[in-house]
Structure 1
């Protein structure tokens, strides 16, 4: 079989167009379902309210307030255990479990024990307002890191 220059050029251009059509542009935004599951979740207080954020993300900009029993944000003087919350850019719900026992763990969607939580005190200063007072860090170990 003998190929001429024109046929070869067309084949090369076709391959290049297919390869570039399959790649997403760098600016493409991931949906919540496509976003990576965080491997560490931090819980702490901000303006005396409980908040959760993904480790490595600036909590001053990307945080979720943990809801209290009345639907408003959970005050800092109340226990954040056994309360479902989410973290930005995921559509999973998490809850810290085991308060008052020997160890703390984190559950996903109320079903799966996906990691352990540790005392991790620290402050993150924000430009405006109070500092974040980080108190707990939960390390997810379910293979979805």
Structure 2
């Protein structure tokens, strides 16, 4: 197991990286192009439904954090640990929610806050947060991201 400072930060929060999730289709979990690592969208097992209907904004936040942990597990799979991450470049969050939910950014903060805690300034990123009617497998939140490796 890696002794990355980043993994130690997770442990201090009582968190650890999960095993890789099974893919839901014909795609790769990650693709490396030069020093960029493109990570496919990750949902979070146990977090299904619609924010604003069956889940609260706080529960959506926790779902997004779980998505973030799944993404970090993909990074570990790609490069053997988290220390190779030079910068989290972009995060896109998709929240299955009611038509009137305004707190979509606050839900996606679950992943964004995790990345900043784990990587410090290297975790700050450009971001898009979108509300949608449905996500694969009934997930409440799906997050994808691009990281720069160094």
More strand by share: 1
- Specify which structure has the bigger relative contact order, considering alpha-carbon pairs within 8 angstroms and separated by 6 or more residues: 2
TM normalised by structure 2 equals 0.29
TM normalised by structure 1 equals 0.29
More helix by share: 2
Q: Which protein shows a greater Rg? A: 1
